[in-house]
């Protein structure tokens, strides 16, 4: 009888046509273990697969339409469906997402706002929940740094490279015209001291947004003296100098995040 009811098919699969009841006396005897990651939507899920979001975690490629493949493939988008994606590239403004070829749908932030460009950070995970018509990004969406800038700290972005020399006033105007400003002394210093590669981008003096009490001077950093060394000791994060605002000097811009 049992042989009739439980047929080990040719594909080596055990069929159980009725419910399975675990009746062991102790919790240890009422376990189903050794589960691999599920391969179909009706499969059971192990602790490990549940913790690791094995069925809802994927890398995403693309910029205007981000594509990702979940395993097993979902049959459709369903309200409440939660996925975690890791973009391989920064998204473009208004980016859509397409899971397993089910069709592109919008990604929204703060409830109903389309994504700005680079809202999704490459290499970082982002969690999305389908609301019935779009995927809403949940959690923190940090203000990204524009192209050409890097994160200096929580409060600001700083340009990766300095610009050709201008006067202090021209440099400030240049940054403002681009929606930015000259960096402060502290911002420039932190970026330089906290990122080893930064000093390699310092080619000469750079303006920062500070005056100096030496006549009508403005502050320059990245070259000069650190207070202990001679007046011009070359390039260094803690080196600085002042100069007339009319002196042509390199500079880089900062943006408040």
Partner 1 sequence: MNRSLGTYSLALIVAAASLTQRAGAQAVLDVPVTLSGAEGERRIDGLAQPTQASSLITLEGAAQGAYQWGTAQASAGAITLALSPPIVTYRDGLLVRFLAPADLDGALTVNVNGLGALPLKRPDGLNPVRGQLRQGTVCEALHVDGRFVLMSAAERGCPPNSIYVNERYCIDSLSTNNQLFYTGVSFCANRGGRLCTWDEYHAACAFLGTQLGGMFNQWEWIDDTSNHSQTADQAGRTTCLSQRSAGNPLVTTGDTRCCYHPR
- At residue 87, the 3 state secondary structure works out as strand
If one counts every other C-beta atom within 10 angstroms of the C-beta of residue 223, the result is 20
Stretch touching partner 1 by CB under 8 A, among 2-10, 104-112, 199-207, 246-254: 2-10
> Rule CB under 8 A: is residue 177 a binding residue for partner 1?
no
Q: Which of 61, 88, 201, 238 binds partner 1 (CB under 8 A)?
A: 238
> Closest separation between CB of residue 75 and partner 1, Å?
17
Apex 82 CA angle, 76 and 83, nearest 5: 90
Stretch touching partner 1 by CB under 8 A, among 88-96, 124-132, 165-173, 247-255: 124-132
Torsion angle defined by CA atoms of residues 74, 77, 80 and 81, in that order, rounded to the nearest 10 degrees = 30
Helix or strand holding residue 109 (H, E): strand 105-109
Q: Are 255 and 180 in contact (CB under 8 A)?
A: yes
| Interacting residues with partner 1 between 90 and 119 (CB under 8 A) | none
> Closest separation between CB of residue 242 and partner 1, Å?
5
Question: In whole angstroms, what separates CA 207 from the centre of its chain?
Answer: 30
Q: Residues touching partner 1: how many (CB under 8 A)?
A: 87
- List 87's β-bridge partners, or say none: 60
Q: Which of 107, 135, 142, 181 binds partner 1 (CB under 8 A)?
A: 142
| Interacting residues with partner 1 between 208 and 237 (CB under 8 A) | 208, 210, 212-214, 217, 219, 224-228, 231
């Amino acid at each position: 009888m049992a042989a009739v009811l439980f047929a080990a098919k040719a594909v080596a699969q055990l069929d159980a046509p009725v419910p399975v009841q675990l009746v062991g006396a102790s919790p240890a005897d009422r376990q189903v273990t050794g589960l691999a990651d599920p391969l179909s939507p009706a499969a059971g899920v192990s602790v490990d697969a549940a913790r690791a979001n094995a069925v809802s975690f994927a890398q995403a490629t693309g910029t205007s339409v981000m594509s990702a493949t979940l395993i097993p493939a979902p049959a459709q988008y369903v309200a409440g469906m939660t996925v975690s994606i890791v973009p391989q590239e920064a998204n473009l403004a208004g980016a859509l997402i397409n899971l397993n070829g089910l069709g592109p749908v919008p990604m929204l932030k703060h409830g109903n706002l389309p994504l700005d460009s680079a809202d999704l950070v490459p290499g970082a995970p982002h969690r999305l929940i389908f609301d019935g018509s779009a995927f809403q990004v949940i959690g923190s969406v940090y203000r990204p740094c524009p192209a050409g800038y890097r994160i200096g700290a929580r409060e600001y972005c700083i340009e990766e490279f300095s610009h050709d020399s201008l006067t202090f006033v021209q440099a400030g105007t240049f940054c403002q015209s681009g929606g930015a400003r000259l960096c402060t002394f502290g911002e420039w210093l932190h970026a330089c001291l906290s990122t080893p590669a930064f000093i390699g981008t310092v080619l000469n003096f750079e303006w920062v947004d500070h005056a100096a009490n030496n006549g009508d001077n403005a502050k320059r950093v990245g070259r000069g003296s650190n207070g202990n060394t001679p007046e011009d000791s070359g390039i260094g994060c803690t080196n600085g100098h002042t100069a007339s605002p009319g002196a042509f000097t390199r500079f880089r811009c900062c943006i408040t995040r």
